[in-house]
Amino acid sequence: MHKQKRGNLLRQTATMLLSCLAVTTLASSAHAEDSLPVLGESASPWKVDVFYENATHFRGKDNTGNRVGLSKFRNTLQAEVDKNLSDGWAFHGIFRGTFDGVYQLNKDEYGKNAGGAVALESSALEGTPVHYLPFGQGIVNWTTAQGIGLPPSNTFGFNSTTPGGLANPSTSPAAVANLPYNPNQGLRLLFDRWGTNPGGVQAAVPVRPCDVDSRGCTDFGGYGDKKRSELEAPEFNDKLDFIREFYVKKNFNLDDGKQVFVKLGKQQVVWGRTDLFRVLDVINPVDYSRNNIYDELQDIRIPMWILQAEYRMGASDTFQDRNVSVVWNFDQFRPNNLGQCGTPNSILDAACILRAFKSLWDNGGTVANFASVLPPGTPGNGPHLSTDFGPHTIGIRNVDLPDWSLKNTQLGIKWEGVTADGISFSLNGLSYRSQLPSLHMFNVGAVNPFIGTVVDTSDLIAFDLVYPRVSLLGGSADFQIPDANLAVRLEAALTHGEEFGNSAQASGYSKNKVFRSVIGLDRPTMIPWINEAEATLFSAQLFYQHIFDHELYDRPFGKVGMVDWKDNFIGTLLIRASLMNARLIPQVIMARDFKAHAFAVAPSVAYRYSDNLSFSVGANFKFRDNQERWHFADQRDSGSFAPFGAYTDANSNTQTGPGAWGLSGLVPLGAFRAGPIGAAWREDEIQFSMKYKF
């Protein structure tokens, strides 16, 4: 690293840490001097706990053979603040600031030098020097389109050569003034870290921080448009995410022994009884950019401004415990943070799909293996040529983020209790918004690139991104089976309103009811050769998901319909031992996505040197069978602008209108078949962490 840059990095790190330390030190010293603002009884002192944590991760080679190196150098300073206020109220706050130095320490991978020039395939030209051509030099462009008889008004081609908004001379003169500069720099190919897609469509995606390269950067819902400094210190944003929690709570005792419990403020509300994956625990969105699915949910739930009220009725003649709680999430809607393409954690590689598609819409781009070389009427489904799309043709047009309004708030209710036989249960209802985006093909007013005029169509691979409203009904229970020394956890939920990509629909999506469930078994087991005094915990979970009215149809070239599996299981197993009076904790977590045939194993050892200092070392490895089972209809054969690009099958039937015929590949939907484990293949890591409490 250049000396001056290293100095800048160290200075910034030191500044951030010192700022946080100053704040927390002030709080601590205020505790000592009792000089913080008086919020209540002075007899109850402020209780402030501050810790620092460093997490350093390294990755090996990705699927391109590139050795990734440092993938996380995250420094966290967190203060937890408590105070009893007057009249029975209590305050709790958690303030967290992090600085991840990876964007400067490994800038070739995640910073300003990330990515590079890419070449895109024309399968029709295999064996020739132009089999792969650089981004911006697609075989099909404005000039070659005219060569096959399209008018000069066609909008194929984009500006990959001329900075300053001037057009590539080869592109449509009509669009000269409006074509943004979209060079072959700072790019990677979609999914290239974990898969290959010969013969399939492929797109390039910018991977540098948005202050270095703004292509494809937009606010997808609190993520996707971050500058390097915002990626480095993600909590310091306009949502004030450095305030992790900030709430007051009180128990109101009623005359009959019942209670009303109120908790108001920025908080996490946890429903359900599962680990790692969520069925009912969906009130707070989750920040997967921090460490994919592998951090404790406590650290990656995105706290929201919420009012919780519980009516605690206690025991009755039938139930040992009863209560009803209402949860009103009155914060502005925020979805899950899916990361930003070019950063270490992009769950399902969704951030790369979104950024690639947004850049395609804004700037145009080369798409590999898109246009078929077969003349109309010739049976067959390829081979194909790389195609330069102009801006505003394919990709993501708009992101529809709900504004704050009363009707956009989210409301949940839970009835929870314990039966006389000791079975804990809950019944849950929630009206919320999907925390995952849905892509709607807008189809109306689209530019037909073949002729450059506005038309209405269907099955167009151009989208608006929305977060649909969802309702959930569910329940959970736990109980023990003494004879087997087992604790059993159950959860189930039925949702209405979730949306799934569906190439069988002209709009590209469908709303489907979804049933999810999990059964979890916990068994502490004395294994004398591990430890005679401390049990080893075996905790297994089996998650199930069923999509109702699932659509999947055979078409001439393959299957079309919903990329998500109709039925899928994910199993997890945690084995955790305890040694040296629980100061040395070796554990292994395993997860298997049964349909994806993907498997992850994460061994780790934590050592608690003292109450104030602990260390851990771990690893994370993923395995898969093969990627072909993840291939899915890519919709290059949708024929959205008939008669252009119409395919003819082996029986000489020709497409007469829009609608995919099943040409498939890994890009762009294979990630959803691969799941969070498969799509992180080749992101194997070795992880070190150190935590110190001041």
Partner 1 sequence: MNIKANTRILKIVVACSVAFLAQASHAVTDAELDEAFFPYKKGFPTFPGLKAGMVINKSNVDQFKDIISPAHFKLIKEGWMEIPVAEAFDMPLPKQYIEATKQHADKVKLGTTIEGFVAGRPFPQQPSASDPRAGEKLAWNFKYGLNWGDGAIIYPFYWRYINANTGSVERTMKFEFHFLNFMHRTINDPKPNITPNPSQLYRGTYLKVHEPLDLKNTQLLIQAYEDDLKRSDAYLYLGFQRRVRRLATGQTTDSFLGSDLMIEDFEGYNGRVSDYKWTFIETKNALMPYYKHNEMKKFHPDFKESDGYKFIGFTGKANCTPDITWQLRKVHVVEGRPVDAGHPISKRLIYLDAQIMTPSMSTIYDRKGEIWKSFQIGKAHPDFHLPINKGSGIPLDDSGSVIDLQSNHCTAITFRGEIDPAKNPPSLFQVQNLRGGD
The residues that touch partner 1, with contacts defined as CB under 8 A, are 49, 51, 80, 82, 92, 245, 249, 251, 253, 257, 259, 261, 263, 268, 270, 272-273, 275, 281, 296-298, 310, 312, 314-321, 323, 416, 418-422, 424, 478-480, 482, 485-489, 522-526, 528, 532-535, 578, 581-583, 608, 610-612, 614, 693
Q: Find the shortest distance in angstroms from Cβ 288 to partner 1.
A: 18
Q: Find the shortest distance in angstroms from Cβ 88 to partner 1.
A: 12
Q: Do residues 314 and 412 touch, judged by C-beta distance below 8 A?
A: no
**Distance in angstroms (rounded) separating the CA atoms of residues 208 and 229:** 12
Q: Find the shortest distance in angstroms from Cβ 18 to partner 1.
A: 22
Nearer to partner 1, 238 or 256 (CB): 256
Please confirm whether the linkage preceding 468 is cis (ω < 30° from 0). Answer: no
Q: Find the shortest distance in angstroms from Cβ 281 to partner 1.
A: 8
Q: Find the shortest distance in angstroms from Cβ 612 to partner 1.
A: 8
Kind of pairing, strands 462-466 and 395-400?
Answer: parallel
Nearer to partner 1, 318 or 626 (CB): 318
Nearer to partner 1, 425 or 644 (CB): 425
Q: Which two tokens stand for residue 75?
A: 């420094």
Using a 10 angstrom Cβ sphere, with 0-12 exposed, 13-18 middle and 19 or more buried, the burial of residue 486 is middle
Nearer to partner 1, 51 or 544 (CB): 51
Q: Do residues 259 and 251 touch, judged by C-beta distance below 8 A?
A: yes
CA quadruple 98, 102, 103, 107: dihedral, nearest 10 = 170
Nearer to partner 1, 8 or 485 (CB): 485
CA quadruple 409, 410, 413, 416: dihedral, nearest 10 = -130
Nearer to partner 1, 36 or 297 (CB): 297
Q: Find the shortest distance in angstroms from Cβ 691 to partner 1.
A: 8
What are the respective helix, strand and coil percentages of the chain, to the nearest 5?
15, 40, 45
Q: Kindly list the distances between the CA atom of residue 49 and the CA atoms of 96, 298, 522, 565, in Å, as whole numbers in the listed order.
A: 12, 17, 32, 45
Q: Find the shortest distance in angstroms from Cβ 660 to partner 1.
A: 43
**Distance in angstroms (rounded) separating the CA atoms of residues 321 and 336:** 34
Q: Which residue has the tokens 């359900």?
A: 272
Nearer to partner 1, 19 or 424 (CB): 424
* CA angle in degrees (0–180, nearest 5) for 654-658-660: 80
Nearer to partner 1, 214 or 251 (CB): 251
Q: Find the shortest distance in angstroms from Cβ 614 to partner 1.
A: 7
Q: Find the shortest distance in angstroms from Cβ 290 to partner 1.
A: 15
DSSP structure string for 497-552:
EEEEEBTTSTTSEEEEEEEEEEEEEEEEE--TTT-SSSPEEEEEEEEEEEETT--E
Q: Do residues 367 and 386 touch, judged by C-beta distance below 8 A?
A: yes
Nearer to partner 1, 87 or 238 (CB): 87
Q: Find the shortest distance in angstroms from Cβ 37 to partner 1.
A: 20
**Distance in angstroms (rounded) separating the CA atoms of residues 148 and 293:** 49
Q: Find the shortest distance in angstroms from Cβ 92 to partner 1.
A: 5
Provide the β-strand partners of residue 652.
none
Measured from the Cβ of residue 331, the count of other Cβ atoms closer than 10 Å reads 18
Q: Kindly list the distances between the CA atom of residue 114 and the CA atoms of 108, 117, 231, in Å, as whole numbers in the listed order.
A: 4, 10, 14
Measured from the Cβ of residue 226, the count of other Cβ atoms closer than 10 Å reads 22
Nearer to partner 1, 324 or 451 (CB): 324
Nearer to partner 1, 280 or 598 (CB): 280
Measured from the Cβ of residue 505, the count of other Cβ atoms closer than 10 Å reads 19
Please confirm whether the linkage preceding 234 is cis (ω < 30° from 0). Answer: no
Q: Find the shortest distance in angstroms from Cβ 603 to partner 1.
A: 20
Q: Find the shortest distance in angstroms from Cβ 268 to partner 1.
A: 6
Q: Find the shortest distance in angstroms from Cβ 535 to partner 1.
A: 4
Helix (H) or strand (E) holding 455: strand 453-455
Nearer to partner 1, 86 or 316 (CB): 316
Q: Find the shortest distance in angstroms from Cβ 46 to partner 1.
A: 14
Q: Find the shortest distance in angstroms from Cβ 63 to partner 1.
A: 34
Nearer to partner 1, 30 or 537 (CB): 537
Q: Which two tokens stand for residue 519?
A: 């059964």
Instruction: Specify the 3-state DSSP secondary structure of 51.
Output: strand
- Residue 544: which residues within 8 A CB-CB, separation 6 or more? 515, 516, 517, 518, 567, 568, 569
Report CA Rg, the chain.
27
Nearer to partner 1, 23 or 90 (CB): 90
Instruction: Specify the 3-state DSSP secondary structure of 56.
Output: strand
Question: In degrees rounded to 5, what are phi and psi of residue 397?
Answer: -85, -60
Nearer to partner 1, 55 or 679 (CB): 55
* CA angle in degrees (0–180, nearest 5) for 690-691-693: 155
Helix (H) or strand (E) holding 412: strand 410-419
**Distance in angstroms (rounded) separating the CA atoms of residues 312 and 253:** 10
Nearer to partner 1, 533 or 650 (CB): 533
Q: Which residue has the tokens 């799909």?
A: 353
